Structure 1
Amino acid sequence: MPTITPVLGDIAQQDVDAVVNAANNGMRGGGGVDGAIHGAGGRAVLDDCVRRFPDGLATGDAGWTTAGELAARWVIHTVGPNLRAGERDRGLLEPCYRRALEVADELGARTVAFPLISAGAYGWPQREAALTAAYTIATTRTDVTDVRLVAFDDGALQSLRHATLQLIPLRILQGVRVLHRRGQQHARITAGVAPTGLHLRIQVWAQGSGTPAVKYTTGSETSFLDAEVTAATAPADIADLLENAEPALTRRVSDPDYARWYEGMLTTVERNLALPVASGEYFDSGPGWQIGDQRYPHPPDPA
């Protein structure tokens, strides 16, 4: 899993194996990121686009060309959805990141710089575009080791930092899923918002053990159980941290109803690009947990 780092800068000046270009369907250059990369890369980039993409490139697809005079070795071109033209489905934006990483793997690129695709002239809100970038990259299998998310201004950088910080609690939630798949289905979580409203809190514990919960708050940023957790931390490593911190979590306990509920809840989190928030304690009588704009049912009663 790659390290994901937001930076403020010029995508055309990134010294990486491959830079990603937010191209258009015609693949003959344009404005914004597209114009900057073609301008800095020189005529060789356009000539290679003409040769490799005689019929252009479909929205959501990706392909590569030489990088010409850029510091990078390759340019990976992808076409994001144009919200201003009515392409509002996030399912058109996510494949841009997945396909670009697939192309990077085919090329053997290990360091890749992405712009915030579709967040410029194509009109996608920065926050949603940033969350889509961070979550999609973090959940895509790839041999790329370092991803640089390049912001074009301070507002985009703030959105990217917020999005990448959300990957830490996501990894913890995925680590609990690993425990369930190992047979430790008594591992429980609840999630809530701090009184300030600024930070999400997650608690993990072993049902019926009587031991204190392991706690995390986004105010701790990448610190969890005396370790640094980032987007590059594998969920299995999170599961190991939890087992080492709480021996009760190492027991094999079957609770398939809760494990199925949890799998569905986490799938909803990954699909909605939003972390779960319980309306109260996990067993209260409210309508469920809030995940983005969706309510997800409360977990079943303990086995």
Structure 2
Amino acid sequence: MFAAYAADFDADRPLNALRLGERPRPEAREHWAVVRVAAASLNHHDLWTLRGVGLRREALPMILGCDAAGVDEDGNEVVVHSVIGATGHGVGPDERRSLLSEHYQGTLAEYVAVPRWNLLPKPPELTFAEAACLPTAWLTAYRMLFSRAAVRPGDSVLVQGAGGGVATSAVILGAAAGLRMLVTSRDPAKRERALALGAEVALAPDERPPHRVDAVLETVGAATWRHSVRALRPGGTLVISGATSGQALPESELNRVFFLELRVVGSTMGDRDELAGLLNFCRSKGVRPLIDSTLPLDRADEALARMERGELFGKLVLTV
């Protein structure tokens, strides 16, 4: 079968480690299913894999991709939950959780094998491309907003770095849930697009918000940490799920954290029940993932290059 996979690691030029070509088709095993992939979306996790982060060299070659929607062996349209081993379903009870493309081959291929427990029915209202956007970036945003920040309608939320998959999905989800969404971006065009998605305020980096917010969603890390902490009201919550700009903080703002009794909460992905909730939310609210563009799988190198350059607003989807 045709696939996009990591054949090597290159920390500086990750696309040098990418290969497009034939890989063995997965075989079904007990309690697992083989899904014919209709669409798969890209995540920064794919670039980190090509750089050699979180993957052992002996696991190479590794098919990239965490997210997919497709058709199972019985003809059912399904969405793939990308976390394997969180509960023991289909794997050993003591196996540590991992994302597809870390321990098991990923979704940027014609077929992917996953435990049957990881399959959820695709809502008929969603296209395969839309459904393929949900299991990582959108699920991350959903968990950050509703499980970890625990915000309520009317609360204000600042999202750092408008444009990426998590940021755009957080704005759309938050606006649909009645939250007052604020965003930041270096790019004026991205700020304008975020406003069109439902953001109430769009700020340049380090620009002071018009009011203190109830929660901040942080995925950028070192570059925006100080701004995130200073944007919070007393007792507010900072939810962090990534650090794309690095982890070394120039100033930790610990005095502000303890004096204002701020909450700093980590968040990683989401569980199967939360993905089911996200699918129902999209169906009931008419919410649709924002897709930057859709390309065929054999142009995965072009898509990953665009992601590396940061030329996205929304999700990049590969169709099979």
TM-score when scaled to structure 1? 0.31
Q: Which has the larger radius of gyration?
A: 1
Higher strand share: 2
Identify the structure with the greater helix proportion: 1
TM-score of the pair, normalised by structure 2: 0.30
